[in-house]
Structure 1
Amino acid sequence: MQKDKKLIVYDIFFLIASLYFALLLRFEFNVPSEYMIFFKLSVVPVVIVTLICNKFFNLYNNIWKYASVEELISIVYSVSLSNIIFIIYSYFVNYKILENRYYRFPYTVHIILWILSVLALGGIRFTYRLSGDKKEENCTKRRHKNLLIIGAGDAAAMLIKEIKKHTNFNYNIIGLIDDDKSKRGKLIKGIEVLGGRNEIIEVCKNRQIEEIIIAMPSAELHTKREIINICKNTKCKLKTLPGIYEMIDGNINITKLRDVNIEDLLGREEVKLNTQNISKYIKNKIIMVTGGGGSIGSELCRQIAKFQPKQLLILDIYENNVYDLEMELNYNYIDLNKKIIIASIRDGGRLKDVFRKYTPQVVFHAAAHKHVPLMEGNPQEAVKNNIIGTYEVLKCCDEFKVEKFVQISTDKAVNPTNVMGATKRFCEIMVQAFNEVSKTEYVAVRFGNVLGSNGSVIPLFKRQIAHGGPVTVTHPEINRFFMTIPEAAQLVIQAGAIAAGGEIFVLDMGKPVKIVDLARDLITLSGYEPDMDIKIEYTGLRPGEKLYEELLMNEVALTSTEHDKIFIEKPAKIDMNFIEKSIGEFKEVLDQDKEQIIQLIEKKVPTYKRKK
């Protein structure tokens, strides 16, 4: 309110001054006395009319710290309207001053007054903005983090604008980095391009950089990885804008900034899908995903939704996760026909009712117990869920003539050393047995660890880092194959399109990664120094845990497919009588002690070699 009063006082002063100078300029600084008399008579009406117009166009309500072109237009409208009213006033309400002559201002005075009034009223208000920006700049430079932006393109320009507008993000932008030599020394939004990627470490050291933002949304992944690896040596916290394909609307916004994740280092180029083949077996079909609320299951639902299924059935025993997924799909896929089904795959009767009612045509089976140490201590639950639950789903697919069944398997099923891996290997055996006797096409897809999935090592490391450490690793040499959640889900769907029945598909996981290297990278990306700021502790291998995982049975040759990331382990002939008899034995032994259950698993899965 105090500022509004000041503005009104300033406006009155500058309006009077503008009218006086308009007269001086029109008459070349020699104003006739009769016009000075008319000036004195016109001052009050001009001021009153202009103030009323200013009020009408909200010139006393705006927060001028955020003034932009829209506010300037409001000033032009107000001054224009007040001048039109003044012209009408001076035409009809003129004054007989000397010798019975009527006097009014020449039209050139009104033109000059319009120009001077726009400059005066606009200048006052935009001075508010500039002084406000300067104050914020002066005070924030003392408390904001020194920031370096990697990339000097459109994304960086928009990011600089956003950061300057949102001063609460606590950034003092020091400079830009770009490999384009033609940009060196040039300014973008007032920020200088300091050099290329080879200068990153030197710039960070000399300019006391605390944080780095990678603003290269369209750059290829291998380029981003190279830059991230350089930035890891600066001890700066890293953030990045997501890739263009992640930003559906294509807008660059500071709210889309995220921390650089380990996925940015390990992720692969975007998976190329044969959408035509996928569309053939998903579009306008009724698709069921068991375990639909889990990490892989929920991502499968997101990917399937893109291919316009006739109906998506999301089956899960846990209502919380599946509720969150339902809300997400409601927002992102408004027209998706979906049904949430709360049910257990162990309950054969309930499953039959579901299959009978909804008649799914394709089933993706992601429901399973997957945590190795927990299943070592609870083998009966692993058998109930992973083996007997999967058997119930397989039976329903056969009975209700499902076209295609896709089993989500794991690298831990290869020469398993733990209960979880052994039960998943038996699931693969059942898949191949059912394929021999059923018209349904049964296949399994095997892959390694999924970055960011529930219970995976990355979320655990992030929590440990957030608490100041230590970060716990079981063994300095332990390694694993890794894949991102979207990549795993996309390749599962793609494998389903290739399937003819009976295959075990193996996804190309690249090279295995040491877990301790993951831990070190994640600590560094969080802005800390491994073993100094955050300690790494080795806790020893857990029950059933391998040092190295394998993706294939050693004795089985691999066959390539039309997709360069998907391979096939040749179908094996499995007798269905063996499966039926084994399921009966598993059901009988569930009430026995832990040792008897494990002995039966060893008998049914010959490649299972438990650690003593």
Structure 2
Amino acid sequence: MKSNLKKHILNRSRSEKRLFLIALDIFLIPLILFISFYSTEKQTFLQNSYNWLVFPLSILVAIPIYMKMGLYRAILKYFRSHAIGSILIATLIAAVVWVGALVLLNFQHIPSSVVLLYWLGTFMVITVTRLSAQQWLYGEISKNASAKKVLIYGAGSAGSQLAMVLKPDPSYSLIGFIDDDKSLEGWNVLGLKVFSPLQLPASIEKYCVDEVILALPSANRSNRQLILEQLEKLPVHVRSIPAFADLVSGKLQTADINDIDIDDLLGRNIVEPDSSLLPINITNKVIMVTGAGGSIGSELCRQIISLAPKKLILLEQSEFALYKIEQELDALIKKSENHIELNRVLGSVTNEVLLKRLFQNKTIQTIYHAAAYKHVPLVEENPVAGLANNVFGTQLLAETAMNANAESFILISTDKAVRPTNVMGCSKRIAELILQALAEKPESKTVFTMVRFGNVLGSSGSVVPKFRQQIKEGGPITVTHKDITRFFMSIPEAVQLVIQAGAMAKGGDVFVLDMGESVKIADLAEKMIKLSGLSVKNDKNPDGDIAIQFNGLRPGEKLYEELLIGENVSGTKHQRIMRANEEFMTWSTLEQKLDKLEKIMQVDNILEIKSQLTNIVDGYKPWLEKPIMSDNKNVIPITKSY
């Protein structure tokens, strides 16, 4: 009988359990108050029938305060010391407000001993009832209250494999499976019930589910997006297992369960690559990747290894980043069973002696130039370092490659190079101009090309890892402006398109990647909060978990980015890659302007540096404390604004 009653109560929904607690408190509050009068021998107060109204008044005051203080939001199973503190404060506030209401309503004076006993009584009785109920209902379960209640979305082979991994783990408590296969609905798989997607909201509430893990490695992007849209509305953390290829070995571990893939956050399908383009500049060739340890550079290296080059040269100025990527690539080479020579070079593209040594044998055939300072505020504060690396490092590398008759040179560029408002974007546009000018030199046998794209999710400095860390720390998530938008693409997709674009180059090409629709950063932040099983804290929901805080645009930052300088754009054989036909300078004209810029940089005059940048980059509008004079009549000097 006792077991059946306990099971009956446990199977009730959260809302039903909360209503029961409210009803229990409605019964206990006036009872405690009545006992307080009799315990202090102040029962003469109740001889006046009007004074009996203090009892319903105590309920009317206490229950709303308890609700506001979250006493009915706490999950009984996870009742802990911090909840006892909330009860202490809530009962104290309720007692004080109740006394205040009595004074306003002209009730007879109530002795302080009654008020004190009433407060202590409500605190102790409410605390004891919660603890007793927790012990009776959950018993041994409460000893492992940190165990996550989990639903697995997908009852197929991947879901079953995941269940077998999680079952022995005491930090997880498996509730069941969710699957859209109607033939499985209501059946048991590995002793766990299979629910339909329509039962998902009710199941999450009924079983107090903490986490839903997607075990759908072979599902296409559109199906995953529909599932995520459903889960986004529910108070549950959503994670996922790796791609199907990673499960073939059967070595899935709990450590493999990750937060939702950033491609899923974008909500768009990846176009399959043109397999005829991928090997053109890579297979059986000597490749150099600059910035090989960075987010773009390292992914370039991974994909290059899969295309079987003859040799891969890693140029990286960070010792740790170089070591890390070299270790990873060594493992990939062993798995591939291809004979690929891997060279590690610790150094910078600004080191002329180093570059001449690397190119002296004229064996390097393809260069992917990913080395750059890209953090907008940092480069804005340190323009000399940014320009030295991004502009003159590119010039030195490109001229060295051209003199060594390298076959292809592909520059990783950015949408911030289009009508830039910051030094970083300006430096990347000048790097483009350098390659465009060199491509027109008659003696050049190197095919120079640039690939321009927007933000990549998951890169160093990207909003996604930043937002995840802020959510982990309890918020707030910081966004510069409520209307700010950005183009986004995953790193693997961007790199895949870079390789394909480079293979289509004829010389001096500016390729622009189709980034899809721009993404509102505030919407991305909200989606990440919800998929973490939390709610957004705002004016409409003041009791939410994570707030989104708008801090204002940073120096040099735009509300939105552009990918094209002009309208002259043509398609290519790849649906996601466009060729932009943009104006550029001759080498003789550009060289003079670069010489002047370099001389100004030597004296570290920031105002003059930015003034000279406006003479090189058409449309550059710097953020400055003071207006500047420019030789470029098309540029209107502006002042810094916030």
Conserved? CA contact 1:343–1:351, under 8 Å = no
> What is the SS of the residue equivalent to 1:149?
strand
Tell me the equivalent position of 1:167. Answer: 169
Q: How does 1:22-101 map to 2 (within 5 A)?
A: none
Conserved? CA contact 2:152–2:214, under 8 Å = yes
Count the aligned residue pairs: 473
Instruction: Give the residue type in structure 2 aligned to 1:319.
Output: E
Residue from 515, 519, 538 that aligns with 2:550: 538
Q: CA deviation at 1:607?
A: 1.7
- 1:261-290 per-residue CA deviation (whole Å, 9 max, x = no partner) reads 444221643442223332132111000011
Conserved? CA contact 1:464–1:470, under 8 Å = yes
Conserved? CA contact 2:435–2:449, under 8 Å = yes
Structure 1 residues 559 and 140, CA gap change in structure 2 (3 angstroms)? farther
Larger-gyration structure (1/2): 1
Report whether the alignment pairs 1:363 with 2:367. yes
- 1:356-415 per-residue CA deviation (whole Å, 9 max, x = no partner) reads 146310000001111111111111112111111100011011100000000000000111
Tell me the equivalent position of 1:145. Answer: 148
Q: How does 1:107-506 map to 2 (within 5 A)?
A: 144-164=147-167, 166-168=168-170, 170-196=171-197, 198-245=198-245, 247=247, 249=249, 252-266=252-266, 268-334=268-334, 335-357=339-361, 359-437=363-441, 438-506=444-512
CA distance in 1, matches of 2:467, 2:502: 33
Q: Which runs of 4+ in 1 moved over 6 A?
A: 136-142
> What is the SS of the residue equivalent to 2:272?
coil
- 1:104-135 per-residue CA deviation (whole Å, 9 max, x = no partner) reads xxxxxxxxxxxxxxxxxxxxxxxxxxxxxxxx
Instruction: Give the residue type in structure 2 aligned to 1:564.
Output: Q
Instruction: Give the residue type in structure 1 aligned to 2:589.
Output: F
Conserved? CA contact 2:440–2:508, under 8 Å = yes
Tell me the equivalent position of 1:547. Answer: 559
Residue from 560, 566, 569 that aligns with 2:571: 560
With the length of structure 1 as denominator, give the TM-score of the two structures.
0.74
Residue from 588, 610, 613 that aligns with 1:598: 610
Q: CA deviation at 1:502?
A: 1.2
> What is the SS of the residue equivalent to 1:542?
coil
CA distance in 1, matches of 2:424, 2:528: 28
CA distance in 1, matches of 2:493, 2:249: 21
Instruction: Give the residue type in structure 2 aligned to 1:557.
Output: N
Residue from 587, 594, 606 that aligns with 2:598: 587
| Deviation larger for 515-524 or 416-425 | 515-524
Q: CA deviation at 1:574?
A: 3.1
Structure 1 residues 246 and 534, CA gap change in structure 2 (3 angstroms)? same
Instruction: Give the residue type in structure 2 aligned to 1:488.
Output: A
Instruction: Give the residue type in structure 2 aligned to 1:184.
Output: E
> What is the SS of the residue equivalent to 1:446?
strand
Conserved? CA contact 2:482–2:522, under 8 Å = yes
Instruction: Give the residue type in structure 2 aligned to 1:527.
Output: G
Conserved? CA contact 1:201–1:233, under 8 Å = no
Conserved? CA contact 1:364–1:407, under 8 Å = yes
Instruction: Give the residue type in structure 1 aligned to 2:616.
Output: K
Structure 1 residues 566 and 249, CA gap change in structure 2 (3 angstroms)? farther
- 1:452-497 per-residue CA deviation (whole Å, 9 max, x = no partner) reads 1111112221222222211111000001011111111111111111
Conserved? CA contact 1:502–1:571, under 8 Å = no
Tell me the equivalent position of 2:530. Answer: 524
> What is the SS of the residue equivalent to 2:302?
helix
Structure 1 residues 250 and 572, CA gap change in structure 2 (3 angstroms)? farther
Conserved? CA contact 2:313–2:345, under 8 Å = yes
> What is the SS of the residue equivalent to 1:235?
coil
Instruction: Give the residue type in structure 1 aligned to 2:300.
Output: L
Conserved? CA contact 1:281–1:497, under 8 Å = yes
| Deviation larger for 214-223 or 524-533 | 524-533
Q: CA deviation at 1:582?
A: 2.1
Question: Aligned Cα RMSD in Å?
Answer: 2.0
Tell me the equivalent position of 1:514. Answer: 520
Conserved? CA contact 1:432–1:572, under 8 Å = no
Q: CA deviation at 1:199?
A: 2.8
- 1:8-31 per-residue CA deviation (whole Å, 9 max, x = no partner) reads xxxxxxxxxxxxxxxxxxxxxxxx
CA distance in 2, matches of 1:137, 1:194: 27
- 1:228-269 per-residue CA deviation (whole Å, 9 max, x = no partner) reads 121121111111112224557465444421122444221643
CA distance in 2, matches of 1:556, 1:162: 55
- 1:5-57 per-residue CA deviation (whole Å, 9 max, x = no partner) reads xxxxxxxxxxxxxxxxxxxxxxxxxxxxxxxxxxxxxxxxxxxxxxxxxxxxx
CA distance in 1, matches of 2:313, 2:515: 29
Conserved? CA contact 1:435–1:501, under 8 Å = yes
- 1:146-198 per-residue CA deviation (whole Å, 9 max, x = no partner) reads 2111112111122222222x323x222222111111111111111111212x3
CA distance in 1, matches of 2:589, 2:477: 45
With the length of structure 2 as denominator, give the TM-score of the two structures.
0.71
CA distance in 2, matches of 1:408, 1:273: 19
Conserved? CA contact 1:365–1:406, under 8 Å = yes
Instruction: Give the residue type in structure 1 aligned to 2:150.
Output: L
Q: Identify unmatched segments of 5+ residues in structure 1.
A: 1-135
Structure 1 residues 402 and 358, CA gap change in structure 2 (3 angstroms)? closer
Structure 1 residues 358 and 341, CA gap change in structure 2 (3 angstroms)? farther
> What is the SS of the residue equivalent to 1:578?
helix
CA distance in 2, matches of 1:262, 1:329: 23
- 1:319-358 per-residue CA deviation (whole Å, 9 max, x = no partner) reads 1101100011111212431101112111223211111146
User: Percent identical across equivalent pairs?
Assistant: 42
> What is the SS of the residue equivalent to 1:405?
strand
Conserved? CA contact 1:316–1:341, under 8 Å = yes
Structure 1 residues 357 and 526, CA gap change in structure 2 (3 angstroms)? farther
CA distance in 1, matches of 2:255, 2:510: 42
Conserved? CA contact 1:261–1:522, under 8 Å = no
CA distance in 2, matches of 1:609, 1:472: 26
- 1:540-599 per-residue CA deviation (whole Å, 9 max, x = no partner) reads 00001000111111x332211111111110254531101221221121111231000000
CA distance in 2, matches of 1:581, 1:305: 40
CA distance in 2, matches of 1:604, 1:473: 32
